[in-house]
Amino acid sequence: MTRDALTGSRIRERRVMAGQKQADLAKRIGISASYLNLIEHNRRRIGGKLLLNIAAALGVEPTALTEGAEAALIATLREAADDARLSGPEATRADEFAGRFPGWADVLANAQRRIATLERTVETLTDRLAHDPHLAASMHELLTTAAAIRSTASILADTKTLEPEWRDRFHINIDQDSRRLADSAQALVGYLEADPEITPAADSPQEEVEAFLAAHRYRFATLEVTEGDADAIDKLIQTAPELQSVAAHHIARDVLQQIAIDAEALPITRLTQALDRLGPDPVALGAELRQPVARVLRRMATVPELGAGLVICDRSGTLIFRKSIDGFVVPRFGACCPLWPLFAVLGSPGMVQKQRVAQLGRGHSAFDCFATCETQNVRDYNAVPLLHSVMLILPAGPDSAPALDVGATCRVCPRAACPARREPSILNDGV
């Protein structure tokens, strides 16, 4: 229904608000009641002198009857309908609802905007908690100190016959813990209010390596042509301003050596040509190129056009490589969501899992994840094999495959009834 077609609905609304009967209004403006009924049901277009007469009879400006609801209001109502998964004819009647019930439409639109604002706030906090080890550690310190104060206060309140020396000791503990709590809270507030444009220094060797890889956009032209030349790797490490610690040098060397091995075995030109023919299908690409799927996944992550993310973990489940993708949170502090395909394949080397996932708390965007587990080089008899699990993350394809709801980490996951939950969520339980 067009905006112009809503004029009749607004006339009816104004007439009802004014307490006028349809027949009385029709008589005042000099038309039949049946014709006015057709107008009010949007079956007759109206304009000119008749519109002016109706506006005068209702005591309103003509523009109040002809102007449609604002585009922003209509868009917000449609967003609310989408969020509520409203289907059928009702989903397409936002214009009519806004025209007939402008007051209720404003109430609903304001509520929808408030919900969207709160969701963005939660998402922002979730990101910071998931990505920022300093913030997570500060929150842990606050909670630990508050728990200590509560415990001490409970002892003082519940124990009526406490010895004076013990009571004095508990008072001292409360004083010290409360001072520590105040200092920690003040430091946390200062950290949260710091200029977001200032990039903090890396807090760990892993973050140094991530900054180094991001600075090169995960592509190293020298390693694509030097066939794993150790001198080329040493030069990259020694000249990288992001790599400050000895541990970061060690981690970066392992990553670069793997990149060099993969580049020698599967040149990027061969991969891109196969991608043009087969599309982003790791199993088909591995068969075509005669390469293990894990290598194909790692190499696909270096193709800018795919916009892919990549995570790798070892046998313990510890993430040893991260390449982020917009909309999918990979925690830097604490354990990841155990529902990720990355961990599902750890017990099945050689298996390739494809799973569409939607991560809660970030707009619920869908992603296609491809995961496999590979055995590292066996260097001795009877040795327990070392495993690496690799997961490529791509924006969801055009098909309508069902998505598995996953989180980032339990502490910031809003999913209430999750079978894999390890600990309560601060978003739901506040602890």
Q: Which pLDDT tens digit goes with each residue over 282-333?
A: 999 999 999 999 999 999 999 989 999 999 999 988 899 999 888 888 887 6
For residue range 28-48, list pLDDT tens digits in order.
Answer: 888 888 888 888 877 777 767
**Count, residues in the chain:** 431
Tokens 């080329």, located at residue: 232
Q: CA quadruple 322, 316, 124, 416: dihedral positive or negative?
A: positive
Cα 417 from chain centroid (whole Å): 19
**Do strands 352-359 and 404-406 pair parallel, antiparallel, or not at all (unpaired)?**
parallel
> What pLDDT tens digit does each residue of the chain (431 aa) get?
444 556 777 788 888 888 888 888 888 888 888 888 888 877 777 767 788 888 888 888 777 676 654 556 667 777 777 777 777 777 677 767 766 677 787 788 888 878 877 877 776 666 666 666 666 667 777 888 888 888 888 888 877 777 888 888 888 888 888 888 887 787 777 666 655 444 445 557 888 898 899 888 888 888 887 655 668 899 999 999 989 888 889 999 999 999 999 999 999 999 999 999 999 999 999 999 999 999 999 999 999 899 999 999 999 888 999 998 888 888 876 688 999 999 999 989 999 999 999 988 656 788 999 999 999 877 788 888 889 999 999 999 888 888 998 988 887 777 878 888 888 876 655 44
Structural domain 303-431, CATH architecture: 2-Layer Sandwich (3.30)
Tokens of 408: 């980032």
Sign of the C-alpha dihedral computed for residues 38, 39, 41 and 45 taken in this order: positive
- In DSSP notation, 9-74 reads HHHHHHHHHHT--HHHHHHHHTS-HHHHHHHHTT-S---HHHHHHHHHHHTS-HHHHHPPPPHHHH
Domain assignments of the chain as residue spans, ordered by start: 4-112, 132-192, 303-431
402/405 Cα distance (integer angstroms): 10
Displacement of CA 279 from its chain's centroid (Å): 26
Distance, first Cα to last Cα, the chain: 49
CATH 1.10.260.40 for domain 4-112, yes or no, is yes
HSE, CB side, 13 Å, CA atoms: give it for residue 304.
6
